[in-house]
Structure 1
């Protein structure tokens, strides 16, 4: 089995992690049983670039059970877990990843996945798709389609579609109801504060938290901060989102004003330079900076480094920057995704929903191969409803059904 991993001896620990999440992912378990019988991916090659931890590993095994040859790399150097890589490789998946890889190694791992000539891809942030459209264009004729996990990745795909350069259909899994309503909101909310609290070992209650961005991820981060007893300020560029934040009970103001007040800062925008030199200049001594957006560009690390007279590791996953006036600012997890780089990511039950959408969307692409346009496509309503129904069934929850009379009523504009 081909693989590029760091510590094969950690396989037993990784397999235990995968076994744990499997017990808490009933939707994927049901899909795996179905895939094992029908083998819809028999003889097909799937390339994956996702945060390589236990839940992702189980998704890879579900696709393998459906007949796929799976190759996978990590989408973030700090989120990759070496024990999980070893366990997954032992299960017959081609794994190209290790924790803390360099930018050069990361590019090598992406190319190793593409060397397997995948016909289907799953991406997280768009790096795999970007490489297919630049340095590895010779592989494009093989690609049936793919699926994207994140808001950031979909923004990149939309830009490619607008330019007419997107060469194959990509399902916007991030926009599926069973993804953004639960993964982005509840998953990001819980896992971000898990990462911050286990890294800092500080209280959140009584502190002022500044959340940059009030999309579904920002809503979750703000909601959980409020639940932990914090005063919450939201910064936004979208007037509709700003009004939502106000009506949800949060203060709204520009970052330059919020910067003076915050104890914790969490960026969740998908944009660049959200917190920069002008904001660092007015922050409190001891302010803590964390990012929960996909790339490490939301907090300007170059500005922070240029303003600091010294910096050092203050604790695992915390870097202390001492400014010229003596104020100390603390950056968590190198400004990368704090919920995965400094914790274990979203809970298994949350990722069960998202990864079920991924698995079923790949099957949808196969079933419609050659019939779909090279555009960003929505998750079908049928797939969303199937995933939601499978979760209710797993929980033992029943709901009502429309009667024939109710169906007729809703389908007609003529009523007696």
Structure 2
């Protein structure tokens, strides 16, 4: 079959979810109308590994309207919304291979399935599909690709530095209209949403430890403070650590923060930033959550090795009893908490990211054969267009420079 999902019977509910998302994605709908008129993706085959959510559905439907054929797999074993997957199959004819609760083998098998359609364009979130292609496929006619997230861009830059990258890739994550909003504002809200849904604990008054002060960490720290938490930042970069201090947060190493925190959220893209040694220092009742793309930031394997007992308390909330008798609570088995235990980013912020995705795909097609095999940032004209469309959808007008002002900005002779 051209799909493998949990239950096609969920399609009607998924259709309503997609309609709800598209109501809040005016920029992407505007892009859809443009691409549909141009049919600029006609005959293009796209294989995409993305979180299968109602917002992703809006993007996929946009690509289809532009003429593309799409095969879609999930970019996290726990992030697929099964009703949305069913709606895409039943009502839109999208080849979907994804369901919530995949094991690791199923996760990679689904990626293999979508590559059977011999894609021309690769869309990825996390870099797993790009890596799989580079490791095992040499016969695909790929024009180029896109990458949605920080983790994936880091992997692709490593491929570029090692001179193994096989096709041009646009780092959608690096667009201003992506990382300033999706990473910071979207994850800032959705990660806390996942923590609250899985625990129903009060944030106010608690000591929250945010590990990493990149754009995701900034957003989480800011919103934790806004909800009344006392926030500690753990950061290895002196530049980001200094920024966190100047933003009013306490900064210290994890070895000290482990003894103080009550809620821990990782957002680094690195491995074992909360180790089993750190966990053994934690207070009774500490909550552990990960907001990074992969489930490597918390040493879950080490935690399971030292735990005297483990029991599930409620969905996505597992209790681990440590050798000293203290209990710690791991959310979503250390996976991406905002998508595993909640619904991911609100549609309004994904409107920006996915408008960038759609326009970047068109850019790759229009510039076929002109781009080197390396990682590119989103062209500035696309970034600014997305911002303009978003403002337009919000009913906001901005200033327009006069010709005199434009000329002034281009010259160097005027002085005081």
TM superposition score normalised by structure 2: 0.99
1:314 alignment counterpart: 313
1:223 aligned to 2:225? no
1:24 alignment counterpart: 24
Deviation at 1:277, TM superposition (A): 1.7
1:122 alignment counterpart: 123
1:191 alignment counterpart: 190
Which has the higher mean CA deviation after the structures are superposed, 367-376 or 32-41? 32-41
1:370 alignment counterpart: 369
2:291 alignment counterpart: 292
1:391 alignment counterpart: 390
Which has the higher mean CA deviation after the structures are superposed, 328-337 or 33-42? 33-42
Can you list the C-alpha shifts for 1:173-225, whole angstroms capped at 9, x where unaligned? 00100000000000000000011011101100000000000000000000000
Deviation at 1:302, TM superposition (A): 1.1
Query: Which secondary structure state, in structure 1, belongs to the residue aligned with residue 86 of structure 2?
Result: helix
Query: Which secondary structure state, in structure 1, belongs to the residue aligned with residue 145 of structure 2?
Result: strand
In the TM superposition, 1:15-414 aligns within 5 A as 15-90=15-90, 91-139=92-140, 142-414=141-413
Deviation at 1:317, TM superposition (A): 0.2
Can you list the C-alpha shifts for 1:285-341, whole angstroms capped at 9, x where unaligned? 000000000000000011101111111111110111001111001000010000000
Q: Which runs of 4+ in 1 moved over 6 A?
A: none
Q: Distance in 2 between matches of 1:176 and 1:194?
A: 25
Deviation at 1:410, TM superposition (A): 1.4
Provide structure 1 residue ranges, at least 5 long, that are not aligned to the other structure.
none
**Cα RMSD (Å):** 0.8
Q: Distance in 1 between matches of 2:374 and 2:163?
A: 9
Q: Distance in 2 between matches of 1:249 and 1:18?
A: 40
How many residue pairs end up in the alignment?
A: 414
Q: Distance in 1 between matches of 2:238 and 2:20?
A: 43
Query: Which secondary structure state, in structure 2, belongs to the residue aligned with residue 290 of structure 1?
Result: strand
Deviation at 1:41, TM superposition (A): 0.5
Deviation at 1:36, TM superposition (A): 1.6
Q: Distance in 2 between matches of 1:81 and 1:12?
A: 13
Can you list the C-alpha shifts for 1:14-56, whole angstroms capped at 9, x where unaligned? 1111010011100111111112211101011011101111101
Q: Distance in 1 between matches of 2:302 and 2:183?
A: 29
Deviation at 1:406, TM superposition (A): 1.2
Query: Which secondary structure state, in structure 2, belongs to the residue aligned with residue 138 of structure 1?
Result: coil
Query: Which secondary structure state, in structure 2, belongs to the residue aligned with residue 133 of structure 1?
Result: helix
Query: Which secondary structure state, in structure 2, belongs to the residue aligned with residue 134 of structure 1?
Result: helix
Deviation at 1:103, TM superposition (A): 1.0
Q: Distance in 2 between matches of 1:277 and 1:336?
A: 17
Q: Distance in 2 between matches of 1:220 and 1:209?
A: 13
TM superposition score normalised by structure 1: 0.99
Deviation at 1:412, TM superposition (A): 1.1
Provide structure 2 residue ranges, at least 5 long, that are not aligned to the other structure.
none
Deviation at 1:137, TM superposition (A): 2.1
Which has the higher mean CA deviation after the structures are superposed, 40-49 or 1-10? 1-10
Q: Distance in 2 between matches of 1:111 and 1:365?
A: 23
Query: Which secondary structure state, in structure 2, belongs to the residue aligned with residue 321 of structure 1?
Result: strand
